[in-house]
């Protein structure tokens, strides 16, 4: 199965990269752009008997390594 993990800073945590990108987009002529967040995507394959099992495994990986839940939230997709 293929897993895709999206990791972003939590809403309450200042995303300075997102802010800088937003300002750059404003400068390039897109003044309406708002709430830019910069995150990371991690893709990998894993063996699991079904999607629910895979999702549980991937969430455990997120809590242990892929995300720092003090500052980041994550979203998991398995297919």
The reply on whether position 43 binds other proteins by CB under 8 A is no
The reply on whether position 66 binds other proteins by CB under 8 A is yes
Q: How far apart are CA 68 and CA 12, in angstroms?
A: 14
Using CB under 8 A, which of 30, 44, 46, 68 touches other proteins? 68
Using CB under 8 A, which of 30, 56, 71, 75 touches other proteins? 71
Question: Which tokens in the block code for residue 23?
Answer: 């300002």
Q: How far apart are CA 76 and CA 6, in angstroms?
A: 7
Quick one: how far is CA 44 from the chain centroid?
Answer: 14
Contact set with other proteins (CB under 8 A) = 9, 12-14, 16-17, 20, 65-66, 68, 70-71
């Amino acid at each position: 199965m293929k897993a895709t993990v999206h990791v972003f800073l939590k809403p309450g945590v200042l995303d300075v990269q997102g802010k800088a990108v937003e300002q750059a987009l404003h400068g390039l002529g897109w003044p309406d752009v708002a709430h830019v967040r910069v995150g990371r995507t991690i893709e990998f394959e894993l063996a699991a008997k079904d999607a629910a099992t895979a999702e549980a495994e991937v969430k455990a990986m997120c809590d242990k390594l892929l995300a720092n839940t003090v500052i980041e939230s994550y979203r998991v997709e398995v297919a």
